Amino acid sequence: MDKIEKSRNEIDKLDDEIMSLLDKRLCLSVEIGKAKSVSKVAVLDTKREDSILNKASNYSHSPQIDTIYKKILEMSKSLQRE
């Protein structure tokens, strides 16, 4: 197996894990949205978002991770509003 194939196989395994974790995260966002609705709490929590986004700076690809997480947060808020 050449280097490219080996790396792609590793990426495929990571993608499976990432997708599973994202699905779990989004399911939790739905539950949080329901709780916020009952409690009359705003969906947007800028302090929480800033705290999450600040974690991206700990990684070597922080600009890319920041961009990805902004999209994840956007989708999470969208689900919470449904």
> For the chain, what are the domain ranges?
3-81
Alpha-carbon distance 1 to 49, whole Å? 42
The pLDDT mean for the chain works out to 96
Burial readout 3-12 (b: 16 or more C-beta within 10 A, e: otherwise): eeeeeeeeee
Query: pTM value?
Result: 0.90
pLDDT in the model for residue 1: 72
Alpha-carbon distance 29 to 11, whole Å? 26
Express as a percent the part of the chain with pLDDT over 90: 98
- Please give the CATH superfamily to which domain 3-81 belongs: Chorismate mutase (1.20.59.10)
pLDDT digits (tens, 9 = 90+) for 25-39: 999 999 999 999 999
DSSP state of 60: T
CA torsion sign for 59, 78, 21, 47 is positive
Q: How confident is the model at residue 49 (pLDDT cuts 50, 70, 90)?
A: very high
pLDDT in the model for residue 52: 96
Alpha-carbon distance 7 to 1, whole Å? 10
